[in-house]
Amino acid sequence: MVRTVQKSYRKNILREMKSSISRVVSLFGIVALGVMMLTGLMCIAPDMRTAAQKYYVQQNVFDLRVLSTLGLSQSDINAIAAVDGVDAVQAVKYQDVEGTGGAAMNLQTAIVEDSKPDAERLKQLLKKAFENENISCSCFASGDEFLRAGWREGYQVVFLDICMEGTNGIETAQRLRAADPDLLIVFVTSSPEYVWDAFPVHPFDYLLKPYKEEKFEQLAGELRRVLCRQQPELEVRIARQIVRLPLTKIYYATAQNHYVRVVTDDGECRATANFAQVQEQLQTQPEFLVCNRGVIINMSKVLRFEGDCIEMLDGTHLPVRQKDKNSLLAQFTQYQFRGMQREF
């Protein structure tokens, strides 16, 4: 009885297969294709591992990274290099950009005020208003002292008291404006009648004493908007975030495989970008120069031009494109000459 059932069952299966032969062939084809793909992956996996290892060796990709929130000293680096099996150790400072939308603004300010309490009060208000920025504030007791010592230090904003002994605030502003048309000058005084005398030097604002915190917050907001427009930045994508790096902080940028390595005053970061895109942004500024294929430098960060290479202030040596060596040297010399003209 059992054999009869089995035989009948087999006949039914064969009958169903014959009646839908195309479906059966399709199923066999799908299974065969899957077996072929699995076999191919199993066979090629060792070769893929070998190819990857060969690439890592050729590109000198590191095998181990040691991180320290406090930093590594030279003795730490020497100790790592002395470990058996370690061929080379390279110290790198990385810039932490996680969780930030961009770099903090650098703000250099000067307070020219003969009243020490007023100068201290103004300094406190500045620190509070720009607490999230990198702000430096220098105080001078007179216009003469500021003109002798500080007016060439790259200040972006100068707070000037009008009534001072010697060279008063308006006369000081006239000399500053002649030297730097873009300087932001804010007059501070307890005498509102001087506002029309100050008008010809085009001050940014006029601040009356005693200082009101609400008025100062409004002034700080206006200064921040103007200064953000004045400071050119490189916009790149780092770790899935858009980050803006001030151009004044950048040393150089180099193309490396599928990313761009950007070295700044704050360290090193890797931007997920095409080098041509980074070059297009940087070359809009006169201080940036393409010295070789995939290498662009900030000429204000150059220590010396040695013919075959360029030495940066951080000690890095970057190659120079030999066929354009003379023209690159001419551009660098011209940039330095323009800088000297601005100083004098």
Residues 47 and 140 both lie in one domain? no
- In this predicted structure, what is the pLDDT of residue 5? 61
Residues 325 and 240 both lie in one domain? yes
- At 98-107, the pLDDT tens digits run 434 445 567 8
Residues 240 and 252 both lie in one domain? yes
Using the 3D structure, point to which of 230, 255, 277 is the last residue of a domain: 230
pTM reported for the whole predicted model? 0.45
- Yes or no: say if 188 and 159 are a contact pair by the CB < 8 Å rule: yes
Kindly state whether residue 1 falls inside one of the protein's structural domains.
no
Q: Name the percent of the chain lying above pLDDT 90.
A: 10
Higher pLDDT, 107 or 112: 112
Residues 212 and 269 both lie in one domain? no
Kindly state whether residue 175 falls inside one of the protein's structural domains.
yes
Residues 212 and 264 both lie in one domain? no
Residues 224 and 261 both lie in one domain? no
Task: Indicate which CATH number applies to the domain containing 274.
Answer: 2.40.50.1020
- Domain span at 290: 233-343
Residues 226 and 257 both lie in one domain? no
Kindly state whether residue 262 falls inside one of the protein's structural domains.
yes
- At 169-178, the pLDDT tens digits run 889 888 888 8
Kindly state whether residue 93 falls inside one of the protein's structural domains.
no
Looking only at Cα atoms, what is the longest distance across the chain? 126
300 pLDDT exceeds 70?
yes
Residues 139 and 168 both lie in one domain? yes
One-character DSSP codes across 312-328 = ETTS-EEE--GGGHHHH
Q: What kind and span of H or E run contains 223?
A: helix 213-230
Kindly state whether residue 158 falls inside one of the protein's structural domains.
yes
Residues 199 and 267 both lie in one domain? no
Task: Indicate which CATH number applies to the domain containing 176.
Answer: 3.40.50.2300
- Residues 81 and 83: their CA atoms lie apart, in Å, by 6
Kindly state whether residue 74 falls inside one of the protein's structural domains.
no
Kindly state whether residue 7 falls inside one of the protein's structural domains.
no
Residues 309 and 210 both lie in one domain? no
What are residue 310's DSSP bridge partners?
305, 318
Kindly state whether residue 40 falls inside one of the protein's structural domains.
yes
Using the 3D structure, point to which of 230, 264, 281 is the last residue of a domain: 230
- In this predicted structure, what is the pLDDT of residue 3? 65
Residues 41 and 121 both lie in one domain? no
- At 313-325, the pLDDT tens digits run 888 999 888 888 8
Q: Name the percent of the chain lying above pLDDT 70.
A: 86
- Yes or no: say if 268 and 97 are a contact pair by the CB < 8 Å rule: no
Instruction: Using DSSP bridges, classify how beta strands 250-256 and 267-271 pair: parallel, antiparallel or unpaired.
Output: unpaired
Residues 264 and 176 both lie in one domain? no
306 pLDDT exceeds 90?
no
How many domains does the chain divide into? 3
Over range 213-239, report the average pLDDT.
80
- In this predicted structure, what is the pLDDT of residue 90? 73
